[in-house]
């Protein structure tokens, strides 16, 4: 699953070229860097890979969400719909721009349920964030049809699904923009880092400026222009070492996905022996980035019992119903309205009025799905010994 499994000479070569220049900053110093702009090249090649016109590199996948939302003009008084099965960063970024996250159900794709999405739209909805969880696409054609009908922009959270596609079209390219993460356990990694892709040049320009304190960037993305600023920004700049690693990892992405698909098929064949097992709906098997194998048992009791046996035999799966990072009812700080702000923001207004409160029972359809779900992360390198261990554990569970 994570790109660090294939670190090698390619990453070292790209990093060495940066170190030879002595320039780690992504902008300026043209004479010292001698034409070497790793982050800029990473952006250009990533945009080309995704089939879009523009890409903006930032410090993390979380920053990518924040920068995209800010550039879209989302802020206080707005609502943003996303799903109750995602990493906490998705809704942290919504809060951080001053908007309110509205959580919708997932369906058997483990991604945003289009039917519940439409139910959650209000006059205050300013964006929709479907999340391509665990490497497989959300129902983007249906989601885009709903969004277009209501005139609401879509931001695709593609943190866990670089390279995934629907009928040949890359995830991240369906909406107004798409965000990616390159943290230590992502399909390709730069240690930390993120990317936003879009075909909207004006949006890209705003993102480019916002992530660099509002600097105008008029001449080109390698310079900072005449120091004019149209709006305030912040610092979410990716540095050259990250861009260098990203270039090497991006060149390996298709090979990584090919290996994961092969290993996922082997794991699926093993897991298929479990009585009553069924598998997650993957809309386009040829577009699955195959970083996870998700499967269902008939009910929660069966899932827990099977996983207990798997774990006892050294091959436990992830039971996301108890996962505190990715599942709505387990986000205790969200449900309790916990914050460092003395005013209670973002859960309270400055005058103490309650702004938003979340009910842990609000997503019953998702709960019925998640309670039965077990997941195996799919490695890029799967040894025969590890596959045999999993097979023996499944046999014991049977």
- The number of beta carbons lying within 10 Å of the beta carbon of residue 176 is 19
The enclosing domain of 295 has a CATH number of 3.90.1150.10
The enclosing domain of 230 has a CATH number of 3.40.640.10
230 in a structural domain: yes
Q: What does the pLDDT look like over 325-342, one tens digit per residue?
A: 999 999 999 999 999 999
Query: For the chain, how many structural domains are there in total?
Result: 2
Q: Residue 175's pLDDT is what?
A: 98
Integer angstrom CA distances of residue 295 from 282, 353, 370: 11, 43, 10
Q: What does the pLDDT look like over 78-125, one tens digit per residue?
A: 999 999 999 999 999 999 999 999 999 999 999 999 999 999 999 999
pLDDT at residue 221 tops 60: no
Integer angstrom CA distances of residue 73 from 65, 76, 78: 12, 10, 10
pLDDT at residue 222 tops 60: no
193 in a structural domain: yes
357 in a structural domain: no
The Cα 25–Cα 37 span in angstroms is 9
pLDDT at residue 351 tops 80: yes
Integer angstrom CA distances of residue 181 from 89, 121, 195, 290, 333: 11, 27, 7, 16, 23
Same domain, 22 and 37: yes
Mean pLDDT of the chain: 96
Under the banding of pLDDT at 50, 70 and 90, the label for residue 158 is very high
Q: Is the link from the previous residue into 346 a cis peptide, with omega within 30 of 0?
A: yes
Under the banding of pLDDT at 50, 70 and 90, the label for residue 355 is very high
131 in a structural domain: yes
Same domain, 263 and 243: no
- Annotated catalytic residue, options 38, 66, 170, 186: 186
347 in a structural domain: no
DSSP letter string, 146-199: HHHHHT--BEEE-TT-TT-EETTEETTSSSSEEEEE-STTSSS--SS-EEEEES
Q: What does the pLDDT look like over 264-274, one tens digit per residue?
A: 999 999 999 99
Same domain, 32 and 99: yes
Under the banding of pLDDT at 50, 70 and 90, the label for residue 141 is very high
Same domain, 168 and 259: no
Under the banding of pLDDT at 50, 70 and 90, the label for residue 223 is low
Final residue in a domain of this structure, among 199, 227, 252: 252
Same domain, 103 and 133: yes
* Residue 195: strand pairing partners: 57, 180
Final residue in a domain of this structure, among 252, 281, 304: 252
Q: What does the pLDDT look like over 18-75, one tens digit per residue?
A: 999 999 999 989 899 999 999 999 999 999 999 999 999 999 999 999 999 999 999 9
Residue range 136-156: mean pLDDT, rounded? 98
Residue 186 annotated among the catalytic residues of the structure: yes
53 in a structural domain: yes
Q: Residue 1's pLDDT is what?
A: 77
Same domain, 24 and 86: yes
332 in a structural domain: no
Q: Residue 393's pLDDT is what?
A: 98
Q: Residue 229's pLDDT is what?
A: 86
Same domain, 46 and 117: yes
Q: Which domain holds residue 243?
A: 3-252
Same domain, 79 and 147: yes
Final residue in a domain of this structure, among 195, 228, 252: 252
> By the 8 A CB rule, do 346 and 95 touch?
yes
The Cα 206–Cα 216 span in angstroms is 9
Same domain, 56 and 167: yes
Q: Which stretches of the chain are DSSP H helices? A: 9-21, 30-33, 38-50, 61-71, 89-96, 114-120, 140-150, 201-210, 240-271, 300-312, 332-336, 364-370, 384-397
212 in a structural domain: yes
Residue range 154-169: mean pLDDT, rounded? 98
Same domain, 116 and 228: yes
Q: Residue 186's pLDDT is what?
A: 97
Same domain, 241 and 300: no
Residue 77, token pair as written in the block:
């008084």
Same domain, 117 and 193: yes
């Amino acid at each position: 699953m994570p790109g660090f499994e294939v670190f090698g000479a390619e990453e070292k070569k790209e990093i060495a070229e940066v170190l030879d220049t002595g320039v780690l900053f992504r902008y300026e110093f043209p004479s010292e860097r001698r034409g070497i702009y790793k982050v800029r090249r990473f952006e250009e090649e990533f945009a080309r890979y995704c089939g879009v016109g523009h890409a903006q590199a930032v410090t993390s996948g979380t920053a990518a969400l924040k920068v995209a939302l800010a550039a879209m003009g989302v802020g206080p008084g707005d609502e943003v719909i996303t799903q109750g099965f995602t990493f906490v960063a998705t809704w942290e970024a919504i809060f951080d721009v001053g908007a309110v996250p509205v959580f919708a159900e997932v369906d058997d794709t483990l991604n945003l349920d289009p039917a519940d999405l439409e139910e959650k739209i209000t006059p205050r909805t300013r964006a929709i964030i479907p999340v391509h969880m665990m490497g497989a696409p959300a129902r983007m054609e249906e989601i885009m049809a709903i969004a277009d009908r209501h005139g609401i922009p879509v931001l695709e959270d593609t943190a866990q699904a670089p390279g995934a596609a629907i009928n040949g079209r890359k995830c991240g390219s369906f909406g107004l923009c798409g965000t990616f993460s390159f943290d230590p356990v992502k399909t390709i990694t730069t240690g930390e880092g993120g990317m936003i892709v879009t075909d909207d040049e004006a949006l890209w320009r705003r993102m480019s400026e916002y992530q660099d304190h509002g600097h105008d960037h008029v001449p080109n993305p390698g310079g900072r222009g005449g120091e004019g600023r149209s709006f305030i920004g912040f610092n979410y700049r990716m540095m050259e070492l990250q861009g260098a690693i990203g270039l090497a990892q991006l060149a390996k992405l298709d090979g990584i996905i090919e290996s994961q698909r092969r290993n996922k098929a082997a794991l699926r064949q093993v897991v298929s022996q479990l009585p009553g097992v069924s598998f997650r709906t993957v809309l386009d098997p040829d577009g699955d980035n195959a970083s996870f194998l998700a499967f269902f048992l008939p009910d929660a009791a069966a899932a827990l019992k099977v996983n207990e046996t798997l774990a006892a035999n050294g091959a436990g799966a992830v039971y996301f119903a108890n996962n505190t990072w990715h599942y709505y009812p387990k986000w205790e700080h969200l449900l309790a309205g916990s914050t460092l702000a003395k005013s209670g923001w973002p859960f309270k207004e400055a005058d103490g009025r309650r702004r938003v409160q979340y009910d842990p029972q609000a997503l019953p359809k998702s709960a019925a799905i998640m309670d039965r779900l077990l997941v195996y992360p799919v490695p890029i390198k799967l040894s025969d010994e590890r596959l045999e261990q999993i097979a023996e554990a499944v046999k014991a569970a049977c």
